[in-house]
Amino acid sequence: MTTQTVTHPVRSDVGAGPAPAPGARTSTRWALAGVGAGITGAGAIAASLSMSAVYDESLGGDTTKIADKLSDYVPNLIVFHVLGMLSAVLMIVFAAGLYRRLRATAPTDSIAPMIATFGLLGTAFVIVMGTGLDTEFVFGVGDEKIVSPDNAAFYNHWVGTIPWCWGLLGLSGIALFALARSGGVARWLGLVGLLGGGITLAFGISPLQYMAGFTGPIGLIVVALGFLVGDKAYRGR
């Protein structure tokens, strides 16, 4: 008795998936959102820096005088709020695009794309919290019937500290370095991530945590620009 084994070839009419259209380009609008997040974030930091009433030694810690001087900064407070919220919104868009981009080239079991994403989302949340008291104080500061001087002084401390806590963004930069070692992103992007992210995270962990507000936006702008104009190897796949 003879046994025969019949092998059926793979069907030629079933493809592995849709092929990229000839000349198709991967969208980089998410990277542009990252550039915008960095620029508006830096603007919010600058606006926060301009509101120095509570740090003015000439006022001698007098909360009434601090509240009166802070009321002169209402335009600065409005700019701070708008730029801060724009930065947070754009940062979330950038985080989503970055996750998609990193997931496309990361090793299957890599957690780096998720860490990079959560670093951005965590920073966006901190910025939202940093602007969270604005509605309560902006238009009432200086009027003791609405805002007491002690609370006004506290509010000035709040906008001068919380929005500066960009330390978690450092995780995103370090994640880029980890992916660069496996070829997931360009080596220079990984080095920028290690340098800028490492410094930002170190500031965030240290008692000098507010210094992360200086390095974080700059690092975000550089990395986002890198993906916007320098990620040619991936877009040419």
**CA-based torsion, 129, 135, 137, 142: positive or negative:** positive
Query: What's the mean per-residue pLDDT of the chain?
Result: 88
pTM here is 0.85
Count helices and strands in the chain by DSSP H and E runs: 10, 0
End-to-end Cα spacing for the chain: 54
Tens of pLDDT, residue by residue over 88-134, are: 999 999 999 999 999 999 999 999 999 999 999 999 999 999 999 99
C-alpha to C-alpha distance for 156 and 137, rounded to whole angstroms: 10
Tens of pLDDT, residue by residue over 131-184, are: 999 999 998 888 888 899 999 999 999 999 999 999 999 999 999 999 999 888
**CA-based torsion, 71, 73, 76, 77: positive or negative:** negative
Annotated domain spans of the chain:
29-51+58-230
